[in-house]
């Protein structure tokens, strides 16, 4: 059961930002079922003024008039003389939402400082498109990512092994003792909803079945390097590598799976290299595998994959893609699990999880790139517990 009164760090961050009265829209993006709406409502609970909350998550996407109607309700409340907080959820589903918000914000944002606005969206790609096209310079971004082990431990009392298998979906936590029900919930209520309602709305997807099969394939190979040609060989009606690369980008925009590029050491990164597949939440991997948790935990090779994937997911969820870039490195049989480029330097991250037969490439990498900063996670380095309890931002701030 979830701990009463638990609040994610995002709540405090938003509350502080709203208190400063800065003339910005506040935009929250992130995967489904990670608490964006809950966080916004918790902010509203502490708001000293009027609140108006509306969601556009309906079967038929509303038009731009929906935004204006909600905005006018907030404006009416503002006339009482109190500050007003307007929260619009799933805003990316509104046709022409960014143009409507821009027009209303330009009308009221500076002249009516008592109005504060929070916009939420579960599709980063659609939200970002609207922001870049219409709202440049008018917003502050926030990301509500998958839950870390520290959050699941504080909210639900989970141990590390629980999180490594069941991942970071708070809504699924109550099903931990019923693995079959948990599997159905994650695969059908979460994954299928994201694929059907979010990913297919981002871009023209000519082969929806291929998109689903690609996701299933990537979830079967967590923290593994898989060439596009090998993917083509395992997928029916796969088309070409360009199609697969595009669909993989869509899965990343939905916070499902990333295909990390290989670090080359040059000023530019060569695109099109065999991607290293990292699921953003270990629940996505284990729900599709449908294996009993007790069996998975004694399979050392599989647990090693889960640990390595969780380490990559921890970095992806905790670092802004505009300032940090996560890659991998491989040369022959030498490999470094993750190469992290930060604003100041770059790190070579080796994850030690007890998986047998894994070549050790960290020493070789450091000979080629002596300016890199090494980090070993696991035995002989930073303990797994410490790594997963530490915010990546604080760990790699330089």
What number is the average pLDDT over the span 208-227? 92
Q: Where are the alpha helices (DSSP H) in the chain?
A: 9-19, 36-45, 64-78, 97-108, 124-134, 149-156, 160-166, 179-184, 192-193, 200-202, 208-219, 228-234, 241-253, 282-289, 293-298, 300-318, 362-368, 384-389, 392-395
Residue 335: per-residue pLDDT: 94
Q: Are residues 115 and 135 in the same domain?
A: yes
Q: Answer with the one of 119, 143, 167 that is the final residue of a domain.
A: 143
Cβ-based neighbours of 343, under 8 Å, separated by 6 or more = 323, 324, 398
Distances (CA, A) of 185 to 58, 191, 279, 286: 21, 9, 17, 12
Q: Could you report the per-residue pLDDT of 167-212, keeping only the tens digit for each?
A: 999 999 999 999 999 999 999 999 998 888 777 766 678 888 888 9
Residue 354: per-residue pLDDT: 61
Residue 294, domain member (yes or no):
yes
Token pair for 58: 């309906």
Q: Are residues 136 and 191 in the same domain?
A: no
What number is the average pLDDT over the span 214-223? 94
How far is residue 206's CA from residue 150's CA, in Å, rounded to a whole number?
40
Q: Are residues 131 and 102 in the same domain?
A: yes
How far is residue 225's CA from residue 73's CA, in Å, rounded to a whole number?
52
Q: Are residues 84 and 154 in the same domain?
A: no
Q: Are residues 108 and 185 in the same domain?
A: no
Residue 210, domain member (yes or no):
yes
Q: Answer with the one of 91, 117, 143 that is the final residue of a domain.
A: 143
Residue 2, domain member (yes or no):
no
Residue 93: per-residue pLDDT: 83
Dihedral sign from CA coordinates of 351, 389, 143, 282 = positive
Residue 203: per-residue pLDDT: 67
Residue 290, domain member (yes or no):
yes
Q: Could you report the per-residue pLDDT of 296-319, keeping only the tens digit for each?
A: 888 889 999 999 999 999 999 999
Please tell me the least confidently modeled range out of 26-30, 81-85, 105-109, 263-267: 263-267
pTM of the prediction?
0.90
Other Cβ atoms less than 10 A from the Cβ of 181: the count is: 13
How far is residue 118's CA from residue 27's CA, in Å, rounded to a whole number?
6
pLDDT at 357 over 50: no
> Domain tally for the chain?
2
Residue 14, domain member (yes or no):
yes
Helix (H) or strand (E) holding 260: strand 257-260
Q: Print the domain residue range for 229.
A: 149-395
Torsion of CA 164, 351, 388, 366, to 10 degrees: -160
Q: Are residues 53 and 165 in the same domain?
A: no
Residue 356: per-residue pLDDT: 45
348 and 366 in contact (C-beta within 8 Å)? Answer: yes
% residues pLDDT > 70 (the chain): 90
Q: Could you report the per-residue pLDDT of 43-79, keeping only the tens digit for each?
A: 999 999 999 999 987 777 789 999 999 999 998 988 8
Q: Are residues 164 and 130 in the same domain?
A: no
Strand order through the sheet with 346-351 = 325-331, 334-341, 346-351, 373-377
How far is residue 393's CA from residue 213's CA, in Å, rounded to a whole number?
34
Residue 372, domain member (yes or no):
yes
What number is the average pLDDT over the span 240-256? 90
105 and 117 in contact (C-beta within 8 Å)? Answer: yes
Residue 280, domain member (yes or no):
yes
Question: Of the spans 2-16, 119-133, 161-175, which averages the highest pLDDT?
Answer: 161-175
Q: Are residues 204 and 114 in the same domain?
A: no
37 and 45 in contact (C-beta within 8 Å)? Answer: no
Helices 64-78 and 97-108: crossing angle, nearest 10°? 30
pLDDT at 156 over 80: yes
Q: Could you report the per-residue pLDDT of 283-296, keeping only the tens digit for each?
A: 999 999 878 888 88
% residues pLDDT > 90 (the chain): 60
Residue 97 pLDDT level (bands cut at 50, 70, 90): confident
Please tell me the least confidently modeled range out of 30-34, 109-113, 358-362: 109-113
Q: Answer with the one of 96, 126, 143 that is the final residue of a domain.
A: 143
Q: Are residues 27 and 134 in the same domain?
A: yes
Question: In this structure, what CATH number is given to the domain that contains residue 102?
Answer: 3.40.50.300
Q: Are residues 116 and 192 in the same domain?
A: no
Q: Are residues 222 and 133 in the same domain?
A: no
Residue 245, domain member (yes or no):
yes
Q: Are residues 138 and 154 in the same domain?
A: no
């Amino acid at each position: 059961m979830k701990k009463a009164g638990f609040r994610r760090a995002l709540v405090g961050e938003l509350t502080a930002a709203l208190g400063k009265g800065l003339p910005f829209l506040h935009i929250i993006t992130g995967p489904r079922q990670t608490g964006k709406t809950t966080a916004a409502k918790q902010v509203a609970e502490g708001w000293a003024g009027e609140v108006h909350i509306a969601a556009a998550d309906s079967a038929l996407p509303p038009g731009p008039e929906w935004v204006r109607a909600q905005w006018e309700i907030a404006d009416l409340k503002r006339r009482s003389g109190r500050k007003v907080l307007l929260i619009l959820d799933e805003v990316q589903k509104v046709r022409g939402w960014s143009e409507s918000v821009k027009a209303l914000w330009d009308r009221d944002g500076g002249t009516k400082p008592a109005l504060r606005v929070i916009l939420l969206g579960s599709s980063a790609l659609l939200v970002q498109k609207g922001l870049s096209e219409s709202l440049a310079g008018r917003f502050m971004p926030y990301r509500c990512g998958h839950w870390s082990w520290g959050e699941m431990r504080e909210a639900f009392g989970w141990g590390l092994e629980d999180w490594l298998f069941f991942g970071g979906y708070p809504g699924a936590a109550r099903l931990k003792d019923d693995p079959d029900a948990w599997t159905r919930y994650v695969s059908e209520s979460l994954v299928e909803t994201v694929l059907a309602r979010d990913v297919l709305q981002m871009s023209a997807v000519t082969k929806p079945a291929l998109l689903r099969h690609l996701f299933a394939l990537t979830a079967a190979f967590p923290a593994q390097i898989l060439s596009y040609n090998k993917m083509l060989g395992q997928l029916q009606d796969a088309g070409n590598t360009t199609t697969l690369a595009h669909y993989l980008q869509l899965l990343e925009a939905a916070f499902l799976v990333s295909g990390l590029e290989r670090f080359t050491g040059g000023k530019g990164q060569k695109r099109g290299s065999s991607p290293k597949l990292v699921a953003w939440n270990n629940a996505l991997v284990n729900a599709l595998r449908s294996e009993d948790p007790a069996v998975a935990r004694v399979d050392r090779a599989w647990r090693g994959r889960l640990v390595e994937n969780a380490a990559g997911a921890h970095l992806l969820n905790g670092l802004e893609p505009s300032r940090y870039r996560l890659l991998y490195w491989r040369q022959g049989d030498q490999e470094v699990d993750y190469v992290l480029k930060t604003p100041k330097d770059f790190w070579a991250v080796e994850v030690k999880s007890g998986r047998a037969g894994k070549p050790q490439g960290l020493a070789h990498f450091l000979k080629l790139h002596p300016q890199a900063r090494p980090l070993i996670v696991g035995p002989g380095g930073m303990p797994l517990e410490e790594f997963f309890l530490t915010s990546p931002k604080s760990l790699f701030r330089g």
